Structure 1
Amino acid sequence: MMLSIQELSYSFEEEKPIFQGLTFDVKRGEFVSVIGASGSGKSTLFKLVTGLLEPDQGDILIEGQRTGKRLGSVGYMPQKDLLLPWRTVLENVLLPLEVTKERKQAKIPEIKEWLARFGLADYENTYPKELSGGMKQRVAFLRTLMTGKELLLLDEPFGALDSLTKRNMHQWLLGLWGELQKTVLFITHDLEEAILLSDRVYVLHNKGIKEMKVTLSRPRSSQLIYQSEFITMRKELEWLINHEN
């Protein structure tokens, strides 16, 4: 199991617990989405998994290991791209290697190959201000990949994009997914996005967590959203969100 959350509880100081006894898992190679209303604890959950916060009770196991020091054990991509404006695309992607003090020069050929797969081959010396929103998110995603971590936490990475750009990003990620061989835990408010991209969807609410399996076969296309099977799953997901008991 890549990630195992066991009986997790957390609250801010004397406030009401954000969640209690939270238990779920993510298998190696899965794409799992977490959705829920604002205040349900999605971002707090990510901070706990990354090690930015520590739980009041329960365990967080990464690749079966129970460790108190999780910082740096997963790749994390926030909603905002957070690209450094004074660095080129290539220099931004190299940033994780500088943090870990790996040999950058040895990795540059691999990074250039990934830039080509990401449709960014002609932009390695371009600065962020010259990129579109979708291109910035692709650079930020590649930078997350360059952490070398098997588990990637993506916190609404497409949430700030317009609907057309977001649709293009879905198609791009679906086409790339087979090559990545990574495990993804993904936060989103977009029900269609959750179903289209995921193997499973967890609905987080103040009384616990519910799971919905996505039965769509891979590879997938963004055109699936118009099919009856997809529409049925969206209705099921809406029901899970609106009926907490």
Structure 2
Amino acid sequence: MIGLYDYMLLIENLSFSFPAEKGKNPIFIDLSMKVKQGEFVSVIGASGSGKSTLFKLISGLLQPVSGSVAIKGVVTKKILGKVGYMPQKDLLMPWRTLMGNMLLPAELSRSDKKRSIKQISEWIDRFGLTGYENAYPHELSGGMKQRAAFLRTIMTGKDLLLLDEPFGALDSMTKRSMQTWLLDLWEELEKTVIFITHDLEEAILLSDKIYILGKKERSLREIKVEFPRPRTPDLIYDPLFLEKRKELERLIQHEGQMETMEQ
């Protein structure tokens, strides 16, 4: 039996609208969501359905009108700083080197700098960024920037990671490589990941389950993904994978969102 503390994230009856629109155009109405510890969960939906707003509510950047958000079984309005949040853009500081950017979480938490540099150096090697410690963001490729941004998110030390379309701006070949890299790393780190994407294949390949965020109904629909792990990019050619993709397309079409999703 699953208890409250088995959930890394538990959202119950959450409602939200921006102050100027309160009572007129709510973003969410009685939205609920359950994410177990160690799960990889994707959130898909049309532009304007509220995906990034949902992340801001989970991270504490916004406060709900009603309902609750619990992290590790604890309901609190002071969520800010309890999750690792990687927004759509890498937000690497252009005037800082790779190492300088990675040190930012340690500086904000006033951790020991020497110890942090040693730890970061080990992670840089595992992230395939060795030799670029003193490089500036403009000297890195798109994939390297995303790995660096993810490493900075890891360095926050949080168990729940929110990744907002981290591969959306990458070309298809780089994206496939990054998906494989992320899967391998997630299985090693045993973190809980919630991942926003517009790419249906990406959502199926990476996830244990998928939430479809309805633009009309302002609700979440849960879809389980039961393909065994570990998974490889070749899975996208499996007939069962294609059937799962068609299922998602039908559900999205039912929500009236199909024209705005990637094909």
Category of TM-score, reference length = shorter chain? over 0.9
| Aligned match of 1:226 | 237
Residues in 1 aligned to 2:233 and 2:118: alpha-carbon distance in whole angstroms: 31
**What amino acid is aligned across from residue 98 of structure 2 in structure 1?**
V
Paired residue for 1:62? Answer: 71
C-alpha separation between the residues in 2 aligned to 1:108 and 1:8?
40
The CA RMSD over aligned residues, in Å, is 1.2
Alignment pair present for 1:37 and 2:43: no
In structure 2, C-alpha distance between the alignment counterparts of 1:74 and 1:146, rounded to whole Å: 11
What pairs with 1:118-129 in structure 2 (closer than 5 Å)? 118-129=127-138
Matched, 1:159 2:176: no
- Cα deviation, residue 105, structure 1: 1.0
Any idea what the Cα deviations from partners look like across 1:173-193, whole Å, max 9, x if unmatched? 122221111101111111011
The equivalent of 1:73 in structure 2 is 82
The 5-angstrom pairing of residues 186-225 of structure 1 reads 186-205=195-214, 206-207=216-217, 208-225=219-236
SS at match of 2:81: coil
What is the Cα deviation at residue 126 of structure 1?
Answer: 1.1
Q: How far apart in 2 are the matches of 1:73 and 1:105?
A: 24
> Which residue in 2 is equivalent to 1:243?
254
Separation of aligned partners in 1, 2:136 and 2:48: 35
SS of residue in 2 equivalent to 1:122? coil
What are the residue-to-residue correspondences of 1:82-93 with 2, within 5 Å? Answer: 82-93=91-102
Instruction: Report Cα offsets for 1:95-125 as digits up to 9, x if no partner.
Output: 1111111112112222112111111112111
The answer for the alignment partner of 1:2 in structure 2 is 8
Q: How far apart in 2 are the matches of 1:209 and 1:38? A: 15
Matches within 5 A, 1:174-193: 174-193=183-202
1:12 equivalenced with 2:18 (yes/no): yes
Name structure 2 gaps, 5 residues minimum: 1-6, 257-263
Give the aligned partner of residue 4 of structure 2: none
Q: Deviations over 1:50-88 (max 9, x none)?
A: 111110110000000011111111000011111111111
Aligned-partner residue type, residue 243 of structure 1: H
Structure 1 segments unaligned to the other structure (5+ residues)? none
Q: Cα distance, 1:128 vs. partner?
A: 0.9
What is the TM-score of this pair, normalised by structure 2? 0.90
User: Which residue is equivalent to 2:261?
Assistant: none
| Distance in 1 of aligned mates of 2:186 and 2:72 | 21
What CA deviation, in whole Å up to 9, does each residue of 1:117-171 have, x standing for no partner? 1111121111111100000000000000000011000011111111111111112
**TM-score (norm. length: structure 1):** 0.97
Q: Which amino acid is 1:218 matched to?
A: R
Question: Would you say 1:136 and 2:142 are equivalent positions?
Answer: no
Q: Secondary structure in 1 aligned to 2:255?
A: coil
Which residue of the partner structure matches residue 159 of structure 2? Answer: 150
Q: Which amino acid aligns with 2:41?
A: V
